[in-house]
C-alpha cells in the first residue's frame, strides 16, 4: 500500500479508506458505478421530508467480536462521528443528528441535503462495535463487520487480517490479507516485479516500463490537471485573452511526453472516472452554453505569470510545455514553481495570471458539485480562478439542490459548461492510477473512488 496510516487506522480520519479497501469495516450503504445508492448494512431506507432518512438495519450481521449488529450500535457509531473532533471530512459543514425509532435508525440534517444517503456511503461513517470506541480513541481491531477481521496493527509498517467465517455476505475466498505500507514507488514496483507482493497500489508511471504490462491495470481517477486563469485581474480578466490561451493548449503532447500516455485527454472538468459525465456533453443545452464562449483575441507580447508546485513531480514538467505552447501563441511567460505549502496562499490570493493544479473532482459523497462550488462560485473557498459569475453561481446552486440521480448529473454538467464557457479553467488531462496485480490474482477491485480493493471475491492462484 502507498501510505501508512496517519491516525492509527481510526475510521474518523482518512485512514477509513484503508479499512474499506481491506473489506474489514462497512457502511450502511455503498455507491454503484452510476453513483446510485446500494444496500449494505442497511437493507432499505426512505426519505422523510427533505432532511431525514429512515433506515432499516440488516438482520443476522455480527461484529468480529461476536456481538450482533443492532440499531443501537449503528446509532452509536454515527453519533461518535458526529461528536468527533476534528469533524470527519464527510460531515464538514453538515449539522447531522441520529435517533432511534423502534427498529429503525433515523438520520436528519438541520438543512435539506439531497446527498444525505450518498454521504452515508463514506468510509468515514463505517459502523463498528461499541467496544471500538474508548476514551483513548477508536480501534477497528476485531470490531468491524466485513469479510476480513483486522487482527494485528503494526504501526506504520503493516497490518494483518484473517477471513471472518461468520460474515453475513459472500465468504472470502482468500484466507487473509497481509498489508505492508511502502511509500517508495520504486520499492512498490520492485515488489510486483519480483513477486513479493500480489497486489500493489499506485505503481509510478516512470516504473511501469520495467514491469510486464499484463500485471498492470490503469484505473481512471476523479482527478483533473487544470490550468486555472485569473478572471479578476491581469491579462486574463479579458475573456478574449482567456480564449486565446485555451486555443493555444495542446493536450496530447503533454500526455505523451510527461505522462508517457498514461492519462486521459480532458474534454471537460469531469473525467472518465465519472462514467455519466461524457454522455451529457452531447446534450443540446450543454452545447448551447459552450457556444457562448468568447472569440480568441490575437495575442502579441502579453506578459503573464504561470505558477505551479513541485509536490507532484509531473507538474513542473507540465509547466514547461504549457509555457512553450503559450509563448508560441504570443504570450510572454514567467514561471514561479515552489513547494505547495509555500505557493498555495499566493495562488488563492490571485497572485498568478495562470496556475496549474492537480485537483480531486469528487469528494467523499461521490459527487462533484462541492468541487465546482469551491473552485468556481463567488463564495468558493478555493477560487484560484477568482471567478464570480452570476450564471455559474445559479447553475451550481441548481445542481446542489437537485436530488441525486440523472437529473443531478445533468444539472452538474450544465454548471461545468458554464465554467468552460467563461474560460475560467482549461482542463488538461485526467489522471490514472496504475494498479499492479501479480499473475494469478483474480477479483481485485479497480475502484476510481479508492474505496475498495480486496473483496470477498479476491483470490490468488498459482501461476
The residues, any chain, with a CB within 8 Å of residue 455's CB and separated by 6 or more, are 23, 147, 443, 444, 445
The residues, any chain, with a CB within 8 Å of residue 427's CB and separated by 6 or more, are 224, 225, 226, 227, 266, 267, 268, 269, 420
Q: What is the mean pLDDT of residues 262-283?
A: 95
pLDDT at 339 over 80: yes
Q: What is the mean pLDDT of residues 385-408?
A: 95
Sign of the CA dihedral with 187 first, then 188, 194, and 198 last: positive
pLDDT at 335 over 80: yes
Between CA 355 and CA 37 the distance in angstroms is: 36
pLDDT at 93 over 90: no
**Is residue 140 within 8 Å of 119, Cβ to Cβ?**
no
End-to-end, the C-alpha distance of the chain in Å comes to 23
Domains of the chain: 16-181 (3.40.190.10), 221-432 (3.10.105.10)
Q: Whole-number mean pLDDT of the chain?
A: 94
pLDDT at 300 over 80: yes
Length in residues, the chain: 463
pLDDT at 463 over 70: no
Between 390-401 and 406-421, two packed helices, what is the crossing angle to 10 degrees? 170
pLDDT reported for residue 49: 87
What percent of the chain stands above pLDDT 70?
99
pLDDT at 364 over 80: no
pLDDT at 269 over 70: yes
Q: What is the mean pLDDT of residues 147-171?
A: 96
pTM above 0.95, yes or no: no
pLDDT at 319 over 80: yes
Assign 3-class secondary structure to the chain: CCCCCCCCCCCCCCCHHHHHHCCCCECCEEECCCCCEEECCEEEEEECCCCEEEEEECCCCECCCCCECCHHHHHHHHHHHHHCCCCCHHHCCCCEEEEEECCEEEEEECCCCCCHHHHCCCHHHCECCHHHEECCEECCCCCCCCCEEEEEEECCCEEEEEECCCCCCCCCCCCEEEEECCCCHHHHHHHHHHCCCCEECCCCHHHHCCCCHHHEEEEEEEEEEEEEECCCCCHHHCHHHHHHHHHHCCHHHHHHHHCCCCEEECCCCCCCCCCCHHHHCCCHHHHHHHCCCCCCCCCCCEEEEEEEECCCCHHHHHHHHHHHHHHHCCEEEEEEEECHHHHHHHHHCCCCCEEEEEEECCCCCCCCHHHHHHHHCCCCCCCCCCCCCHHHHHHHHHHHHCCCCHHHHHHHHHHHHHHHHCCCEEEEEEEEEEEEECCCEECCCCCCCCCCCCCCCCEECCC
pLDDT grade for 363, boundaries at 50, 70 and 90:
low
Q: What is the mean pLDDT of residues 275-298?
A: 96
Q: What is the mean pLDDT of residues 163-190?
A: 95
pLDDT digits (tens, 9 = 90+) for 184-214: 989 999 999 999 999 999 898 888 888 999 9
> Phi-psi category of 93—alpha, beta or left, where left has phi over 0 and alpha has psi -120 to 50?
left
pLDDT at 266 over 70: yes
Between CA 316 and CA 328 the distance in angstroms is: 19
Between CA 357 and CA 256 the distance in angstroms is: 19
pLDDT reported for residue 367: 87
Place of cell 498459482: 462
Between CA 261 and CA 252 the distance in angstroms is: 9
pLDDT at 285 over 90: yes
Most confident of 180-184, 341-345, 385-389: 385-389
Amino acid at each position: 500500500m502507498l501510505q501508512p496510516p496517519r491516525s492509527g487506522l481510526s475510521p474518523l480520519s482518512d485512514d477509513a479508506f484503508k479499512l474499506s479497501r481491506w473489506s474489514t469495516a462497512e457502511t450502511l450503504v455503498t455507491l454503484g458505478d452510476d453513483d446510485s445508492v446500494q444496500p449494505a448494512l442497511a437493507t432499505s431506507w426512505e426519505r422523510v421530508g427533505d432532511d431525514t432518512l429512515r433506515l432499516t438495519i440488516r438482520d443476522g450481521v455480527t461484529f468480529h467480536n461476536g456481538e450482533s449488529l443492532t440499531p443501537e450500535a449503528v446509532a452509536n457509531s454515527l453519533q461518535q462521528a458526529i461528536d468527533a473532533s476534528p469533524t470527519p471530512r464527510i460531515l464538514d459543514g453538515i449539522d447531522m443528528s441520529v435517533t432511534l425509532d423502534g427498529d429503525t435508525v433515523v438520520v436528519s440534517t438541520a438543512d435539506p441535503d439531497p446527498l444525505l444517503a450518498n454521504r452515508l456511503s463514506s468510509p468515514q461513517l463505517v459502523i463498528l462495535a461499541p467496544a471500538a470506541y474508548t476514551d483513548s480513541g477508536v480501534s477497528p481491531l476485531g470490531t468491524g463487520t466485513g469479510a476480513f477481521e483486522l487482527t494485528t496493527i503494526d504501526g506504520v509498517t503493516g497490518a494483518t487480517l484473517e477471513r471472518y467465517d461468520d460474515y453475513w455476505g459472500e465468504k472470502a475466498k482468500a484466507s487473509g490479507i497481509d498489508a505492508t505500507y511502502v511509500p517508495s514507488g520504486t520499492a512498490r514496483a520492485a515488489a510486483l516485479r519480483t513477486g513479493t507482493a500480489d497486489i500493489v497500489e499506485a505503481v509510478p508511471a516512470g516504473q511501469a516500463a520495467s514491469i510486464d504490462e499484463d500485471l498492470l491495470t490503469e484505473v481512471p481517477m476523479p482527478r483533473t490537471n487544470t490550468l486555472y486563469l485569473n478572471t479578476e485581474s491581469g491579462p486574463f480578466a479579458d475573456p478574449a485573452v482567456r480564449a486565446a490561451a485555451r486555443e493555444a493548449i495542446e493536450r496530447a503532447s503533454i500526455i505523451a511526453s510527461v505522462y508517457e500516455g498514461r492519462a486521459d485527454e480532458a474534454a471537460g472538468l469531469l473525467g472518465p472516472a465519472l462514467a455519466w459525465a461524457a454522455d451529457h456533453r452531447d446534450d443540446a443545452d450543454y452545447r448551447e452554453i459552450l457556444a457562448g464562449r468568447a472569440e480568441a483575441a490575437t495575442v502579441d507580447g502579453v506578459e503573464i505569470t504561470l505558477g505551479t508546485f513541485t509536490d507532484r513531480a509531473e507538474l513542473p514538467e507540465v509547466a514547461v510545455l504549457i509555457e512553450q505552447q503559450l509563448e508560441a501563441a504570443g504570450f510572454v511567460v514567467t514561471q514561479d514553481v515552489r513547494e505547495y505549502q509555500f505557493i498555495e496562499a499566493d495562488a488563492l490570493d490571485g497572485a498568478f495570471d495562470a496556475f496549474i493544479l492537480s485537483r480531486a473532482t469528487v469528494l467523499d459523497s461521490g459527487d462533484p458539485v462541492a468541487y465546482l462550488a469551491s473552485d468556481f462560485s463567488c463564495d468558493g473557498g478555493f477560487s484560484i480562478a477568482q471567478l464570480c459569475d452570476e450564471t455559474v453561481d445559479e447553475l451550481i446552486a441548481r445542481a446542489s439542490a437537485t436530488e441525486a440521480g440523472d437529473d443531478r448529473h445533468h444539472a452538474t454538467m450544465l454548471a461545468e459548461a458554464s465554467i468552460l464557457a467563461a474560460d475560467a479553467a482549461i482542463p488538461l488531462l485526467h489522471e490514472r492510477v496504475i494498479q499492479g496485480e501479480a499473475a494469478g490474482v483474480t477479483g481485485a477491485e479497480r475502484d476510481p473512488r479508492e474505496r475498495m480493493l480486496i473483496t470477498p471475491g479476491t483470490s490468488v492462484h498459482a501461476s
